[in-house]
Amino acid sequence: MSPPARGTQAPEVKKHELPVSKDGNLVVGLCDGETSMEVKGVKAGESLTRAQAQHVSGALMEEWLRKNPNAHWDAVPLVAQAPAPGSTTPRTQQPRTPAPSKGTVREGGVTPESGGAEVKKQQAVPIQDGHTYGAFSDRDEAIWAASTEQFVDEGHRVFHDAQAIGGTVGISCDMCHPDASNTHPETYPKYQVQLGRVALLRDMINWCIENPVRGRPLADGDPRMRAMEAYIYAKRKGVKLEYGKK
């Protein structure tokens, strides 16, 4: 086979090229791939405090909204109002506690003729009756629900923590997306102009991690990426899936 011609190679994934500050100040780029802002008084390579980072991301968002007056952007206060971790509503699963002991060891029981299906009623406990798989009790479901909530809570933590996500300038996800607003996970996959390709939610998360968060993109299997997807989806529970939406 001959080597592929230059033109047929896959286009390189786009990068947001940031302008360099004359004074060596820190420049923060927005996720649109165009807008950026020089932070006076902070040198490149330094990190912002949470208040500074919030101010910068707020100003960048304002600038973007000014440039895109017709953009679909839900009105949210640009000051992050992070609910405390663990405050994601846990499902009100009421675990069924086993019936309290009647006090005596049961004598007599049922006759050999009565079927095993009756056992369930007699003991008033979820009992596995024959099928190994799919025989799930309330307890199982409570464990699954709690496991899911822990995953979502971990995503909440990462989403609100610039360091956990590997950011270098102090900006965290919640600063532009308080409470995961305007992340619209239900609209993926879709063509994302600034990326120049069809993106999945994780691609967009990684794009934001490069700018403005200034971290290194996470691997698909990275527990932080998985947790953030869990959190972002959890925040849109009940919203209709609508892939490709602008």
Partner 1 sequence: MRPPCGVALSLAVLLFAHSGQAQPQDREVVSSPADLPPGVSAVLWKLSVPPHLAPTPERVLLGEKLFNDQRLSVDNTVSCSTCHDPRLGFADAKPVSEGVKGQKVTRNSPTILNALFNASQFWDGRASTLEDQAKLPILNPREMGMPDEAAVVAKVKTIPEYVRDFQKVFNREVNFDDLAVAIAAFERTLYSGNARFDRFITGDAKAFSAAERRGWALFNGKARCNTCHAGNVVSPLFSDQKFHNIGIAAHKTDFPQLAREGLKVVRTGDEKQIDELALETRFSELGRFLVTKQENDVGAFKTPTLRNIAITGPYMHDGSLVTLWDVMDHYNKGGVPNPYLDGGMQRLGLTETEIDDVVAFLFTLTDEQFVKFATQEQARQRGLKSKRPERDTAVAMGKKGNLGDLAPNPDLAVKNPADIGVYGTEAQVKPASTSKP
* Residue 209 binding partner 1, by CB under 8 A: no
Give the per-residue contact string, 158-187, with partner 1 (x = CB under 8 A; - = no): ------------------------------
* Residue 110 binding partner 1, by CB under 8 A: yes
* CB 96 to partner 1: min, Å: 10
198 CB-near residues (< 8 Å, 6+ apart): 189, 190, 191, 192
Instruction: Say how far apart CA 97 and CA 240 lie, in whole Å.
Output: 36
Instruction: Say how far apart CA 30 and CA 52 lie, in whole Å.
Output: 15
The answer to whether residues 79 and 50 touch, using CB atoms and an 8 Å cutoff, is no
* CB 108 to partner 1: min, Å: 6
For residues 77 and 116, which CB has a smaller minimum distance to partner 1 in the complex?
116
The answer to whether residues 74 and 182 touch, using CB atoms and an 8 Å cutoff, is yes
Give the per-residue contact string, 80-109, with partner 1 (x = CB under 8 A; - = no): ---------x--x-xx-xxxxx-xxxxxxx
Which range of residues in 37-45, 54-62, 78-86, 133-141 is near partner 1 by CB under 8 A?
133-141
* β-pair type (36-43, 25-29): antiparallel
* Residue 74 binding partner 1, by CB under 8 A: no
Terminal-to-terminal C-alpha distance of the chain: 41
Among 222, 229, 233, 246, interactor with partner 1 by CB under 8 A: 222
The answer to whether residues 163 and 170 touch, using CB atoms and an 8 Å cutoff, is no
* Residue 77 binding partner 1, by CB under 8 A: no
For residues 56 and 209, which CB has a smaller minimum distance to partner 1 in the complex?
209
Specify the residue for token string 């307890």. 139
Residue 158 amino acid letter: V
Instruction: Say how far apart CA 87 and CA 234 lie, in whole Å.
Output: 13
Judged by the rule CB under 8 A, the positions of this chain that interact with partner 1 are 89, 92, 94-95, 97-101, 103-112, 114-116, 118-119, 122-123, 125, 127-133, 135, 137, 139-140, 142-143, 146-147, 150-151, 154, 157, 221-224, 226-227, 230
